[in-house]
Chains A and B, each alone.
Chain A
Amino acid sequence: MYPETKKLSTRQPVNMDQSDLGFAKKIGEVAGTDLNACLTCMSCSGGCPMYTYMDYGPHGIMRLSVLGLKKEALSSSTIWRCVGCHSCAAVCPMAIDIAGVMDYLRGECLHEKVKPGDRPILEFHRAFLWSVRRHGRCHKVELMGHHKLLTLGSGPKAWFQDAYLGIRMILKGKLHLMPSRIMARGLSQVRKTVVGDWLHM
């Protein structure tokens, strides 16, 4: 994983031909926040722990959304590398729920079947939610195994990374081998909620 050059910091003019001007309004309605309040002050990017590894950074995504550049926003790596730590929302002088906007954009990326900007992270979320569907709770050991299966195409680094550490943690007893589960009726209730476009990929 290497730092990414920021796509907004180029001399290329912004292509507005395909812009969808209702996009910011739609995000605002679902995420409950007014994007037009954004000052592009970059406080969010300043506080973002993942900024170095993003292609636009949170302020860039805010700008793309306001300009209606939906395709660029949904296909960016920024939305997937966002960890949802809410540092951006906590520092935003206009009190925009930026992490909430990222949640909406990720959902929209899956819904519109846009190629996700960071596949391994999406697969992690899928492995996690599959674990929750199976047990009603997350089981970490199983989650890591499943994630390795889902990212088999990513090459040997992804297969072997942390194998030693994982075994060490299990031997230490820091991670339990057996899952903590909920029983049949509760499980079917949970499964009604843990659904979405991620399921059918």
Chain B
Amino acid sequence: MSEDYVYEAFYYPGCTMATGVDESNRPMQIVLRKLKLKLNEIDEWNCCGSSSGHAVNHEIPVGMGARNFSLIEKGVPVVIPCPSCYRNWATAKHHLMTEPETKQKYEKLYGQIHSDNEILNIYDLYHKVLTEAKAKGHVYEGETPLKGLKIAVYYGCGAMYPKVLRPTDQRRDTVEKVVRHIGAETVMWPWPNRCCSAFVSAVYPEIAEELVTQIVVGAFESGAEAIVTTCAMCQMNLEMRIVSSGLQLGLPVFHLNQLMALYLGEKAEEHNDWWKYHLVDPVPVLKKAGLWAA
């Protein structure tokens, strides 16, 4: 590892981040640069299988995960920004580690599989780096705590696991900790892990509207001014499926990367290249919180 970086790992963007969501990709590049994290995109990575892979054949996520694991180097961790991709990677890892015959089968197809490498969510990485920086008393250049922003942290269902996949040290409050660390307030609210309806949104929009409205109204009634999520699909569903009465509540849905970038000294008013992608305009909330210098 070169001295310019505090952490180096592989990066698995996942299909959603690779074909859209520039409003999250752009601030993420800034955050990685400022936190001195070097993430190298895995060459020729493939889809993790998403919801559809395991839905029709439970071997698909294992096979696709096996190929992804064969593309990385031994001992180098993989950072994954999408909670749903993370769960599919964890499923593949579980099967490859506990069933030697499965691993052999895929090693014949893809060559050596490094399934013992660590995989981690990008928010776990942020939490780790920020905590270490705080312990050392390190202050980032241009650091501006996001004072006065009340946030409902929405994990989505990506943070739910069956028992075998549950990490032994899994914490249920990592994103809350990050959000509080960067100076914003978090609210207690009923639906941090409620499903946003995922792919059903594309097939039956009316079901998605019901679930999303429940989530957004829940956040509003608990006093939140905005929702933050780490899952790009949740972000899209929450903004796209909100019914018009919910839209009037004016709760924008931020990506965690955007808030991180603002904390690390980016100016909100200079980044119309992020905000223009939002279907619910976040500018009034940013102005109200004093983060928008007019």
Contacts and interface: CB of A to CB of B under 8 A. Distances in A.
Interface of A: 1, 30-32, 49-50, 53, 81, 83-87, 89-90, 95, 97-100, 103-104, 106-107, 110, 120-122, 124-126, 128-129, 132, 136-140, 144, 147, 161-162, 165, 169, 172-176, 178-180, 182-183, 186, 189-190, 192-198
Top 3 A-B pairs, shortest CB-CB distance:
A193-B63, A85-B157, A196-B57
Given A83-B195, A104-B58, A50 B207 contact: yes
B46 A129 contact: no
Contact of B160 (A81, A86, A189): A86
A90 B161 contact: yes
A99 B162 contact: yes
B53 interface: yes
Nearest to B67: A189
Contacts of A83: 51, 157, 195, 197-200
A8 B165 CA distance: 31
Contacts of B59: 193, 196
B124 to A, nearest CB: 18
Interface stretch (B16-24, B137-145, B178-186, B252-260): B16-24
A198 B66 CA distance: 21
Contacts of A178: 19
Contacts of B198: 83-85
Given A49-B211, A89-B162, A165-B240, A100 B47 contact: no
A103 B55 contact: yes
Nearest to B55: A125
B148 interface: no
Contacts of B205: 161-162
